[in-house]
Structure formats: C-alpha cells, structure tokens
Amino acid sequence: MLNILEVKNLRKKYPDVIAVDGISFAVKKGICFGLLGPNGAGKTTVIEIIEGITASDGGTILYKDQPINKNFHKETGIQFQATALQEFLTVKETLKLFHKLYPHPAHLDEIIQECSLENLLSRDNRKLSGGQRQRLLVAIALINQPELLFMDEPTTGLDPQARRNFWNMVEKIKLRKTTIILTTHYMEEADYLCDEIIIMDKGKILASGEPKKLIAAHFKEVILELPENEVVNGELDIPIKYELKYGHYEIYTRDISSTLDLLKKHNISLDNLKIRSFNLEDLFLELTGSELRS
C-alpha cells in the first residue's frame, strides 16, 4: 500500500459558497502532507469531511484502499483548529479521559514526554498558554497511536518560540512514521515540515507536489532584492523584469552576473543587495494572488 488516503472528486457546497469543488489527491504513507491555502480556501472543510465531522455532497474517500469504516476513528487522530476542553479538569485528567475512549491507547507517559507536558500535568486546562494548549491537543490526538494524524492550523496565534517548539514536536512525530495531514497558511511552516503539499483556493487545487519541485517548476529565475533608496532618482530603468514591493525592488533573473554588471552600469550601489531563491510564499502568492480577501 503506497497511499494511506485517497480523495477523489470531493465536493461540498454551502448555501452561499462552494467550499470544496471536486478535488482529488492522494497521501502517501509516512509523509507529512500539507494542505495550504488562504482563509476560506476549503482546507478545514476537507479535513472535517475526511474525519466524518461534516457530510460531503459527493466524492470518494479511501483509507488504506477501503471506504472509511468504523475503525477509522480508532486509527486516526485529529487536532481541530478550535477545540474546547472540559472545564475544571487538569491536563492529566483530560488525557486520561481520552485515553479511556480508545481500545488500544498508547502509554500516557510516552505521549506526555513526546509533547513536553511533564510540568503541566496538574494544571487546569483553562490556565494553559496557547502553545501549551496546542501541545495538549496534539497529545490527545496521539493517544490512540494514530497511523494518520490530522492537524488543522495548529500554530495559528502562537508566538515564534512556541511555533518553533511545536515544529520540533511534529518532527518527532514524523520520526514515528505517522502520516500527518497538516493545514496551514504559514508557508514557512509548510516548507519546514511538509514532504508534499497541495495549494488550494476557492475549493479547488491550484498546485500539488513536493515543495521544492513545485517552486522549481514555477520559477526559473532568482530574485535580487534591491532597497528602493539605492536607486538614483527613485526610478529603476533596466531592460529586465522587476517589481517594486514593500520598499525594495525585486529583480528577476536567470543570469546573476550579467544582471549585476547591468546594475553597476546604471551606477546603482550593490552594498545592500540581497540574492535569494523563490520560496513557497512566492509560489503561494503567485497562485492565489496577493490582493486582500474580503
């Protein structure tokens, strides 16, 4: 079995919007698979349909080559984007509650260690910080030793330290060969964690594949970033493609040395010039557009 999950022609329509518009994809066993897209792209709907939380309007979902059956919830874990926990319970009591809901749960001590919850066990759920709470939610999702783990925008609202900490935890989960389906709109996160991605918008898949291959397929150039104030008279006049973005020029080129020569000829200082490759965020904006969504 190569694919642990296959989604074919999945559709979901709400009264005012088509949330999922006939998408198909397959998730290979053991990888971290990213569902990327702007807010409202349909990522959460896709995950909730697969999880059986939301009913679809059509399409097929195969788990281990079979239609989803009652064992699916025993073998999968999910971390929802927004989940409340029972009030007045400690972290340990919450873990014990979910531990008893599964027929073959993992040892709690292992989960606690993996999610770095040792020092929080007696703390009331309501008194956890954002990052601590997300670690607890992941711990709950891991209790049944899932073969397939869903994580729906797990780092939204976390500070940079908490986010990095969270990524380290996901890395550890990846080492267990657990397949992860991660939705996020942080491209840096997807770049760091995901082996394969799909980029969605308005219920459709715009691109799919390995992040580096996707970038390579879409962009042949590199970017030279030149601060706007380095340009005399405030206007860049060169015969190659460039754009002014957020206080600097982005010059796109396949031939770095001849472009640098060209800039020198125009008496432009190269002291603060930066050279970088296209990244996932560039691809994302290229595909989904950079205009503000209503």
Contact residues toward another protein (CB under 8 A) are: 51-53, 70, 73-74, 76, 78, 80, 82-89, 93-94, 96-103, 140, 144
CB nearer another protein, residue 152 or residue 250: 152
Whole-Å CA distances, 82 to 3, 130, 133, 151: 28, 11, 11, 11
Least distance in Å: CB of 36 to another protein? 22
**Shortest distance, position 128 Cβ to another protein, whole Å:** 15
Residue (80 or 284) nearer to another protein, CB: 80
Closer CB to another protein, residue 75 or residue 286? 75
Comparing CB distances to another protein, the nearer of 112 and 223 is: 112
Q: Two tokens at 175?
A: 């080492």
Least distance from another protein to the Cβ atom of residue 116, Å: 21
Closest distance of CB 281 from another protein, Å: 30
Indicate the burial class of 292 (C-beta count within 10 angstroms; 0-12, 13-18, 19 or more).
Answer: exposed
Classify residue 230 by its DSSP letter: G
User: In terms of CB distance, is 50 or 214 closer to another protein?
Assistant: 50
Could you list the beta-strand ranges (E) of the chain.
Answer: 3-14, 17-28, 32-36, 58-63, 66-67, 76-79, 148-152, 179-184, 196-201, 204-209, 222-227, 242-245, 248-253, 274-276
Residue 254 DSSP label: S
The H or E element that residue 99 is part of is helix 91-99
Least distance to another protein from the beta carbon of 90, Å? 9
